[in-house]
Amino acid sequence: MAGALVIGVTHLGIDIAKSHLADRLGYFLLDQLFHLLVVLLVWLWLSQPWAALMALGEWLLRPETLLTLLAYLVITRPLSILIALVMRRWSAQVDNTSTLADAGARIGMLERFLVLTFVLAGEWTPIGFLLAAKSVLRFGDLREDRDRKLTEYVLLGTMLSFSLTLMLGLGLRTVLDATQ
């Protein structure tokens, strides 16, 4: 009963505090994080799962886990910067005014996340489907000369993104397989 009371009161307080803030994604995520932390702390208080938490901590600090987390971090912003630097040669030649701001970078991050996950899971077919889907979406643009440069630019960036992520994933799998 005490746990439910603590959760109820703190959730009410968090929601009252949030109601005085603007509707922004950052505030929403912070609100959700606080709610989750309260539930987690009450769970820890009531169940005292110290052995399970110690095992989780040990797993998180294993070199294989840290290396995998590092790979996922690399495929986000650092790899986006590298790809943007390589693609700079062609970026001035394409008209990006009709695209969403930063959408290409976000799509690239999601693609790389999926590709790395599939490589680590040993699932190759979904990678082919991702590449095919991206190509199909751009195929119609190839027929119209006005969008040809943008289509080529996107496909070149996609190939670079996929290639770098595949190399990283295969390298990581090789290291992980060698440690087992």
Interval 112-156: pLDDT, tens: 999 999 999 999 999 999 888 877 776 655 555 556 777 778 888
- State the average pLDDT over residues 75-82: 92
Per-residue confidence (pLDDT) for residue 50, from 0 to 100: 79
> What is the distance between the alpha carbons of residues 71 and 91, in angstroms, rounded to a whole number?
27
Q: Which of 45-59, 88-102, 133-147 has the highest average model confidence (pLDDT)?
A: 45-59
Supply the pTM of this predicted model.
0.72
Region of residue 103 (left: phi > 0; alpha: psi -120 to 50; beta: else): alpha
- State the average pLDDT over residues 84-91: 87
DSSP 98-141: TS-TTHHHHHHHHHHHHHHHHHHHT--HHHHHHHHHHHHHHHHH
